[in-house]
Amino acid sequence: MPPQMIWFFVSIAFSFIAWGNVTARYIWPELRLRSRVEALSPLLVLHSFRFIGLAVLVPGVVSPDLPPTFAHFVAYGDIIAAILALFSLLLLPSAAGVAAAWIFNLWGTAELLNVFYQGNHSGLLAGQLGATFFLPTLIVPLLLITHGLGFRILLGHEKESVTNKIRQPSQGAVGQF
């Protein structure tokens, strides 16, 4: 394995550790208190920026040696994910929005994992990414972690959060528990 790839994978590992810390300390404690719709919204807004993957198609931003098949997987997969995230946000207060969020989360996760596979399969070298080196080393770990949060929210937030229920006054008779 070329030394540049070792540093590439070390960067990705450290990014997972750093974003995992940020998520555990700051993001999840806030999102877990929200209803499903309120918790999904910021994650979908974040993923609406996945259009940035189109950068791999811009000459001069990446090496001319970047495998074109890999570039197409990244660019088109990411733009589809961004469109699905925006579509989910548009529909989200409804049941159709929750269904769209499921489709987005499944697509987005599979797309990111497929890009890692395609990069490995095509013999991608970190230097071929050029200026987009920061995408897999900084952004993709955050996106994968937030996809995990998305699944957790979709699976566990079927109703209002417990905290929201506690905050609301009871509608029942006085003295009922």
List pLDDT tens digits, range 31-64: 999 999 999 999 999 999 999 999 999 999 999 9
Compute φ and ψ for 39, nearest 5 degrees: -80, -35
Separation CA 98–CA 100 (nearest Å): 5
- Amino acid in the structure at residue 131: A
Compute φ and ψ for 62, nearest 5 degrees: -115, 165
Q: Residue 144: pLDDT above 70?
A: yes
* Dihedral, 110, 115, 118, 120 alpha carbons, nearest 10: -120
Question: Where are the domains positioned within the chain?
Answer: 3-161
